[in-house]
Structure 1
Amino acid sequence: MTTATEKAGERKLFPEERRAAILGILSRQPKVMVNDLASKFGVSTFTVRADLDELESEGKLRRCHGGAMSVAKTMKVEDYQKRRSHASDAKSAIGAAAVQFVEAGDSIIIDTGTTTLELAKHLVGIPDLTIVTNDFEVAAFIEAKMPEADLLFLGGWVRSGYRYAYSLESLRSVEHLHVDKAFLSANGMTVEDGFTSESYEQAQLKAAYAHAASETIMLIDTGKYGKVTFSGFIDFDQVDAVVTEETLEPAVAEAIQKKHPGIELISAR
């Protein structure tokens, strides 16, 4: 005999099924509440809390007041903080070394990234700069510490958990710019594949940045060498200088300079 609940398309779920359903809900929305889940599944709030505790112990969600959040959602913000704190001394050293390329009166593009942010911090005191960026942290620093600089912020959609904006309109805007220098970051670097980004949209924008600039300087820590991420955007023969925190291995430096004999390889240390 079919019960009224079953007629409505519901049935009592086994714990494993219920927990899978909770994760399914979290794949579509950032947060679930205990009371809502109890009502949905026809179980007690005690049972739901036990489910959430079990899923948290498995690393599949994060408990919060009154419910739980998707690990994927919470990790994005945490990942930014980790990127910012990871090898912070190396990033600061790269930023300090890269500032040698900036002259009074320059127009420059500063790409999004925790390493390029360190460059921005070393620009204080250089007069008459025009700065283009799509990075909120870079823009906020320039506005607060360098109010005399001309700042063009490229707006658009905000990637969740990150600190930059992107849109087709901003990409088209960059295609009409002509600047002195572009300072770019990357998620990966190999001799064979050049520089790569984990984001296709960002790769498009980075390529446009390089095209808009008379000189392109890559800021990248040596830990990125040997990695190839989702989308390539520039090769070594289109780059004027690469600034790293440590000297590249001699064989790597030789291979890079063979591809582009005029490239400058600068070590911050």
Structure 2
Amino acid sequence: MRINGLPPESRRDELTRYVNHSHTARVEDLADVFGVSSMTIHRDLDVLASEGRLERIRGGARAITARLAERDVRLRRHLNAHIKKQLANTAAQLIEPGSVIALDDSTTVGELGPHLESRRPSTVITHSLALMNSVATHPGIALVGLGGQYYAETDSFLGSVVVEQAQRLTADAVFVSTTAIKNQSLLHPDAEAALTKQALLKTGGRKILIIDSSKFEGSGLYHVMGLEEFDDIVIDKQLAPELLANLESLQLNIHLADTSPKD
């Protein structure tokens, strides 16, 4: 396969897809595929690595894996980005105009940011610094930022101070995501993140989970909450039929998002 004559941004998008598909790729092979010099590929890979879309390795690049991305929000924002956007498109319809909503620091929930102006909640509660910055640009939406110890790897505030602040608040709806679901429970690998999600969930009358099907049967050390305690789940249509049947048995409101790639 050869892909020639693309402008830089388009070439980098295609280069990212190529490496994600092949998992690893050498500079020389990429130069041949895209019909450019090795120096151009080196520059492209440096840009993509700085954006967190690929990982630089000696002589080439490799795809960002879920395990690696869990450690760095910059990487997580690019992992399954298309799926996250489509899930957010569906979840945004659950935001009632004039409501008070709480949003966690997950990159999936973070994709609700661009929808806030059109959905017009009265107030947003969040511990995500990225979402705080997004909400701050909308003067018609009040912002309640939960502060505490800042963690660059999640771009958010976590820990006991955040938990204490959340315990004094009430929201009409709370939107969360997590890294894994197993045995009909939300799991997370980080203790402070799990506690913060629990506290945020307790602020909401309506609990809404946004998650892609790849998170099912994953692993996580700390329990967040059982699925049966949620009111709604937004998930992609690729969920296995037997897992969908399990969700239906919990009598949740299930919202299926079409995450198939668009032509």
If the length of structure 1 is used for normalisation, what is the TM-score? 0.67
What does residue 207 of structure 1 align with?
198
Equivalent position of 1:166 in the other structure:
158
* Residue identity in the other structure for 1:266: H
Q: Distance in 1 between matches of 2:224 and 2:187?
A: 6
- The alpha carbon displacement at 1:193 in A equals 4.5
Equivalent residue, structure 1, for 2:139: 147
Worse overlay, 89-98 or 125-134: 125-134
User: How far has the Cα of 1:142 moved from its partner?
Assistant: 1.1
Out of 88-97 and 240-249, give the one that drifted further.
240-249
Report the more deviating stretch, 120-129 or 207-216: 120-129
Are the equivalent residues in 1 in contact too, given 2:95–2:121 (CA < 8 A)?
no
SS in 2 for 1:123: helix
CA distance in 2, matches of 1:128, 1:268: 22
Please say if 1:87 is aligned against 2:76: no
Q: Which residue of 1 aligns with 2:107?
A: 114
- Give how far 1:134 is off: 0.4
Which AA in structure 2 matches 1:130?
Answer: T
Query: Residues 168-187 of structure 1 correspond to what in structure 2 (within 5 A)?
Result: 168-187=160-179
Identical counterparts, % of pairs: 21
In the other structure, the counterpart of 2:226 is 235
Q: Which residue of structure 2 lines up, in the alignment, with residue 256 of structure 1? A: 247
Report the more deviating stretch, 91-100 or 204-213. Answer: 204-213
**Unmatched tracts of structure 1, length 5 or more:** 1-61, 63-74
Conserved 8 A contact 1:189-1:196 = yes
After superposition, the C-alpha distances for 1:41-97 in whole angstroms (9 at most, x for unaligned) are xxxxxxxxxxxxxxxxxxxxx9xxxxxxxxxxxx88983222111111100001110
Contact 1:247 1:267 in 2 (8 A): no
Write the distance in 2 (CA, Å) between the matches of 1:235 and 1:76.
25
User: Which residue of the other structure, out of 100, 104, 108, is the alignment partner of 2:97?
Assistant: 104
> In structure 1, what is the equivalent of residue 180 of structure 2?
188
Q: Secondary structure at the match of 1:162?
A: coil
C-alpha deviation, 1:256, in angstroms: 2.3
Q: Deviations over 1:189-245 (max 9, x none)?
A: 12x151111211111111112221111101111111111212111111101111123
Residue 144 of structure 2 aligns with an amino acid whose one-letter code is L
Tell me the equivalent position of 2:149.
Answer: 157
Tell me which structure has the larger Cα radius of gyration: 1
| SS of residue in 1 equivalent to 2:219 | coil
Q: Residue 123 of structure 2 contacts residue 142 of structure 2 at CA under 8 Å; is this kept in 1?
A: yes
Aligned residue pair count: 193
Q: Distance in 1 between matches of 2:70 and 2:189?
A: 16
1:113 positional shift: 1.4
Give TM-score, length-normalised by structure 2. 0.68
Instruction: Report the 3-state secondary structure (helix = DSSP H, G, I; strand = E; otherwise coil) of the residue aligned with 1:186.
Output: coil
- 1:157, 1:167 within 8 Å by CA — same for their partners in 2? yes
C-alpha RMSD of matched pairs (Å): 2.1
Query: What SS does the corresponding residue of 2:120 show, helix, strand or coil?
Result: coil
